Amino acid sequence: MLNRDTWANEAVSQTISTNFIFWQVYDDTSEGKKVCTYYKLDSIPVVLVVDPITGQKMRSWCGMVQPESLLEDLVPFMDGGPREQHAKVSHKRPRGSSTTPQQKNKDKPDIENEELLQALAASMETIKDASGVSSSDTDVASTDKDEASATEKPAYPILPEEPKVDRSLLCRVGVRLPDGRRMQRNFLRTDPIQLLWSYCYSQLEGSEMKPFRLTHAIPGATKSLDYDSKLTFEDSGLANAMISVTWE
């Protein structure tokens, strides 16, 4: 039930495949009818973010969704997994709070909820079997070696302040650091991509002694991004992308 034009966007495709389990059904199938009934969907197409542990709907979008808007809304879900989301909810809920029987019945997983979770689990196994990629969050080791010398540090350009202009002029780039941290920063679409190295350099500890490289944060990506490229974020396709930083 995901809009075809939105899913065709390369940045959306990379972000979803890297950070989420993508499950798509048609509303006229048996599984689609269960989804529409359980989540009380009265219009399609619709995009849902579902907690894989409880089946709870965390976020939804109806109708046409712009790729840039979708990527921005997905950032909070990429910062932490389902268990972190549960911890936040549990922390906000007062101890000893009373719940009505209606609320208890609503929170209690029912048969349809269990079936949806089973379908999600089956979809996950299918994806793993087809791709051969582990579901762990470890980065894929690269066998490619850059020919550039690792002893000389490039003179990275000075990183300007994060721009605060019209949203249409901006792009957001997500960065996964070697220590597991995930950062996001706004750049102008017309900025040179060398600023991405400047930003990563400012976030890394020990980067003055160890060279690093940047790759697309997608399973199987091994080709390093080209620092010497004169392209902008928009021209290079890095606008609203997720990038992985690894030590050489």
- Based on the fold, state whether residues 35 and 97 are members of the same structural domain: yes
Residues 77-84, mean pLDDT to the nearest whole number? 63
Residue 65 lies in a domain: yes
Strand duo 242-247 + 170-176: pairing: parallel
What the block records as the tokens of 58 is 């965390």
In terms of pTM, does the model score above 0.75?
A: no
- Please indicate whether residue 200 or residue 130 has the higher confidence score (pLDDT): 200
- Based on the fold, state whether residues 113 and 198 are members of the same structural domain: no
Strand order of the β-sheet with 170-176 is 182-188, 170-176, 242-247, 212-216
Residue 15 lies in a domain: yes
Residue 155 lies in a domain: no
CATH code where residue 188 lies: 3.10.20.90
| Cβ burial, residue 218 (10 Å; 0-12/13-18/19+) | middle
pLDDT in tens, 137-177: 444 444 444 444 444 555 889 999 999 999 899 999 999 88
Buried-exposed string 57-91: b where 16+ CB fall within 10 A, e elsewhere: eeeebeeebebbebbbebeebbeeeeeebeeeeee
d(CA 121, CA 157) in angstroms, rounded, equals: 46
Which of the four pLDDT bands, split at 50, 70 and 90, describes residue 88?
low
CATH code where residue 70 lies: 3.40.30.10
Residue 160 lies in a domain: no
- Please indicate whether residue 92 or residue 156 has the higher confidence score (pLDDT): 156
From 131, 146, 179, the end of a domain falls on: 131
Residue 145 lies in a domain: no
Residue 48 lies in domain:
4-131
In the DSSP assignment, the letter for residue 193 is: T
pLDDT in tens, 101-143: 455 444 544 555 566 666 665 655 554 455 454 444 444 444 4
Report the domain count for the chain: 2
Cβ count within 10 A of residue 48:
16
pLDDT at 129: 53
From 113, 131, 149, the end of a domain falls on: 131
Residue 156 lies in a domain: no
Most confident of 17-26, 69-78, 83-92: 69-78
- Based on the fold, state whether residues 215 and 109 are members of the same structural domain: no
- Based on the fold, state whether residues 173 and 122 are members of the same structural domain: no
pLDDT in tens, 209-239: 678 889 887 666 667 899 988 899 999 888 8
Residue 49 lies in a domain: yes
d(CA 240, CA 61) in angstroms, rounded, equals: 19
Residue 140 lies in a domain: no
pLDDT at 211: 84
- Based on the fold, state whether residues 11 and 126 are members of the same structural domain: yes
- Based on the fold, state whether residues 173 and 98 are members of the same structural domain: no
- Based on the fold, state whether residues 192 and 87 are members of the same structural domain: no
Asked if residues 60 and 35 have their Cβ atoms less than 8 Å apart, the reply is no
pLDDT in tens, 42-63: 888 889 888 877 778 889 988 8
- Based on the fold, state whether residues 71 and 176 are members of the same structural domain: no
